Chains A and B, each alone.
Chain A
Amino acid sequence: MADWLGAGCLVAGALLSLAAGIGVLRFPDVLDRMHAATKPQVLGVLLLLAGVALRLRTPDDIGMIVLVAVFQLATAPVAAQMVGRAAYRSGRVDRSLLDTDELADEG
């Protein structure tokens, strides 16, 4: 039972990674690509790790997997935010794609 659940988690995680890959290739500018890369990527890696944990099922391995998951959750938003800030500051944002620009100095 846990094996099948783990296999399902592995396939779902791989599908989310694939979504991230498609988004990174197809989306038009840096912010869109960062968005496409980060969100399904993090959930995809977490699902893959859950699949690994469900198939290994020993406390030592689960501890290591939790460590990896915590690192992912702590570092992925920071890296994405730094990429987004660098993109905005160096003017690589396509303004025709923005609805509102909340960082602009308009008053």
Chain B
Amino acid sequence: MKVALATVLTVLLSVTALLALARMYRGPSLLDRVIAADVLLNTMAGAVGAEAAVNRHATTLPVLVVLSLLGFVGAVALVRFAVREEP
């Protein structure tokens, strides 16, 4: 069960990350890239959490706190920048 669960979660989260990366590459505007970066960061948080759940350890849980706050701060900073860029 553990291997099957790890495989399914890896495939799903990897495809999500690739889709977000494709949108980040294609743009077309900064806001699209902000949204894609948010999705990518949340996927990374989900992957860290899924790894902790599958292997039953709690050492990476503080990383989840940092990732969830980092996504918010990054998105807000970039959006403020995008608004100031074009009056």
Contact = CB atoms under 8 A, between A and B. Distances in A.
Interface of A: 6-7, 10-11, 13-15, 17-18, 20-22, 24-25, 30, 33-34, 37, 41, 44-45, 48-49, 51-52, 55-56, 58, 60-61, 64-65, 67-68, 71-72, 75-76, 78-79, 82-83, 86-87, 89-90, 92
Given A6-B53, A56-B56, 12 more contacts: A13-B46, A14-B12, A30-B29, A44-B42, A48-B53, A51-B50, A52-B53, A60-B58, A68-B65, A75-B68, A83-B79, A90-B82
A13 B50 CA distance: 10
Contacts of B23: 24-25, 33
Give the interface centre of A13, A37, A48 by most chain B CB atoms within 10 Å: A48
| Contact residues on B (Cβ < 8 Å of other chain), bracket | 35 or more
A79 B45 contact: no
Give the interface centre of A15, A30, A67, A83 by most chain B CB atoms within 10 Å: A83
Give the interface centre of A17, A25, A30, A49 by most chain B CB atoms within 10 Å: A17
Contacts, number: 154
Interface of B: 1, 5, 8-9, 12-13, 15-20, 22-23, 29, 31-32, 34-36, 38-39, 42-43, 45-46, 49-50, 52-54, 56, 58, 61-62, 64-65, 68-69, 71-72, 75-76, 79-80, 82-83, 86
